[in-house]
Amino acid sequence: MGGIFGGGGGGGSTAPKKTVKQIETEEKATEAQERTEERAEAQERTEMQGVQKRRRLRQRGGMRLLFSPLRQEGPGSSNTKLGGG
């Protein structure tokens, strides 16, 4: 029974069969694609970790400056003058 487009219907005998070499190249291509995706995910993960680290430093940086050894010396113990002369 013919199809709408005049095909014989059914059996996939009209599709060309793939050779071993074609199958191997397709497998290699998919493996390479997977490797590049893994690399991209790893790079994205490290970038996100860097962003989080910078955010943490910004949030806690003020506290670190408040409790730094220079702050604990006190205002009177500094040898430098601010301002002219």
Domain assignment present for 13 = no
Domain count, the chain: 1
pLDDT in tens, the chain (85 residues): 566 777 665 555 666 888 989 999 999 999 999 999 999 999 999 999 999 988 888 777 656 666 666 555 555 555 566 666 5
Domain assignment present for 75 = no
Domain assignment present for 7 = no
Domain assignment present for 1 = no
Domain assignment present for 83 = no
Q: Report the candidate in 69, 51, 70, 68 with the shortest Cα–Cα distance to residue 59.
A: 51
Q: Residues 6 or more apart from 71 whose CB is under 8 A from it?
A: 65
Domain assignment present for 10 = no
Using the 8-state DSSP alphabet, how is residue 19 labeled?
P
Domain assignment present for 37 = yes
Range of the domain at 41: 20-69
Domain assignment present for 26 = yes
